[in-house]
Chains A and B, each alone.
Chain A
Amino acid sequence: QQQVKQSPQSLIVQKGGISIINCAYENTAFDYFPWYQQFPGKGPALLIAIRPDVSEKKEGRFTISFNKSAKQFSLHIMDSQPGDSATYFCAAEGGANNLFFGTGTRLTVIP
């Protein structure tokens, strides 16, 4: 059972462009939605997170948009840079304090 669905699987963006990664969840008990960034050979690192009582959260160039009725949330990376090239995972947590991860999006930002 895939609790969190993520798309696209891979994404290529020009430097300075906007990267958009989408996720959808099924379990309405989820109440915390983090995004993790993972570089090769490293563990996932928390990038930004949101709770369902807000529709948007922005931290620097990174913004989460959250649509509770549609059970969808997305990550927007503004002014994408080559250093942003990594794999991005959305996740969801609720109740049991364990994270359910999406399948990941490999982002490549080309100069």
Chain B
Amino acid sequence: EPEVTQTPSHQVTQMGQEVILRCVPISNHLYFYWYRQILGQKVEFLVSFYNNEISEKSEIFDDQFSVERPDGSNFTLKIRSTKLEDSAMYFCASSAGVARGNQPQHFGDGTRLSIL
């Protein structure tokens, strides 16, 4: 079964440094998402991306965050200047269409980001 793959599985970064989290969505999917999960808390939506542009973003997704689909297979999340509170598990997801059209979001196994 096709799956969403994320790399690296664990990223340790000094506060203030830039970090790029990488995702390879399922190949025929058109919608891409980033979520985060702070340890022990719920999964929170960050951003959705469709047709090479952001379609929706949450309050968490401020100017420090950006997303990009640099080629036909990768989808990246960049944090420009990391803060301690950015430490979390970041999940990438993709879907073939909108969920209520029976096209659910499929999640990767996440990248654990630790900011020191």
Q: Does any Cβ of B come within 8 Å of A44's Cβ?
A: yes
Complex interface: chain A residues within 8 A of B105 (CB)? 46, 99
Closest residue on chain B to residue A44 by CB atoms: B107
Complex interface: chain B residues within 8 A of A103 (CB)? 41-42
B29 to chain A, nearest CB (A): 13
Q: How long is the Cα–Cα vector from A32 to B100 in the complex, in angstroms?
A: 5
Q: Count B-side interface residues using an 8 Å CB cutoff.
A: 25
Q: Does any Cβ of A come within 8 Å of B75's Cβ?
A: no
Q: Is the CB of B44 within 8 A of A46?
A: no
Q: How long is the Cα–Cα vector from A8 to B57 in the complex, in angstroms?
A: 29
Complex interface: chain B residues within 8 A of A42 (CB)? 109-110
**Contact partner, A99, options B55, B99, B109, Cβ 8 Å:** B99
The 4 closest A-B CB pairs, nearest first, are A43-B107, A32-B100, A101-B43, A98-B45
